[in-house]
Chain A
Amino acid sequence: MAFIPSRIKRHETNDGEVKLNLTSMMDMFTIILVFLLKVYSTQGQMIQPSQDLTLPNSTVQEHAEVALDLKVSKEWVVLNDKPVAKVADILSMNSLIIPPLAAQLRKYARQAQKMEEQFGTPFTGKVVIQGDKKLPYKVLVKVMATCGRSDYPNMRLLVYEKNG
Chain B
Amino acid sequence: MAFKPSKRKRRPDATEPDLNLTPIMNLMVVLIPLLLTSAEFVKLGMIELNLPPAAGATAAAVSKMPQEVEKKLDLTVTVTDQGFYIASSAAVALGKAGEGPTIPKLADRYNYQKLTEYLYKIKQKASGVFRDDDKIIILAEPSIDYQTVVSTMDASRSIKVDGKWQPLFPDVSLGATVL
Query: Is A110 among interface residues, defined by CB-CB distance under 8 A?
Result: no
Instruction: Give chain B residues whose Cβ lies under 8 Å from the Cβ of A148.
Output: 51, 54, 57, 59, 61
Contact B143 A137 (CB under 8 A): yes
Instruction: Give chain B residues whose Cβ lies under 8 Å from the Cβ of A19.
Output: 14-19
Partner of A134 from B15, B32, B61, B146 at Cβ < 8 Å? B146
Partner of B44 from A2, A64, A155 at Cβ < 8 Å? A64
Determine the distance from Cα of A125 to Cα of B51 in the docked complex, in whole angstroms.
11
* Interface bits B129-163 vs A (CB < 8 Å: 1, else 0): 00000000000111111110111011001000000
Query: Is B42 among interface residues, defined by CB-CB distance under 8 A?
Result: yes
Within 8 A of B (CB), among A140-154: 140-142, 144-145, 147-151, 153-154
Within 8 A of B (CB), among A1-44: 1-3, 5, 12, 14, 17-25, 28, 31-32, 35, 38-39, 44
Query: Is A157 among interface residues, defined by CB-CB distance under 8 A?
Result: yes
Within 8 A of A (CB), among B99-131: none
- The A interface is mostly helix, strand or loop, or mixed, namely mixed
Instruction: Give chain B residues whose Cβ lies under 8 Å from the Cβ of A25.
Output: 21
Contact B46 A158 (CB under 8 A): yes
Given A18-B18, A96-B58, A161-B43, residue A153 in contact with residue B52 (CB < 8 A): yes
A133 nearest CB neighbor, chain B only:
B147
Given A28-B28, A58-B150, A96-B59, residue A156 in contact with residue B48 (CB < 8 A): yes
Within 8 A of A (CB), among B1-45: 2-6, 14-19, 21, 25, 28, 32, 35-36, 39, 42-45
Contact B45 A61 (CB under 8 A): yes
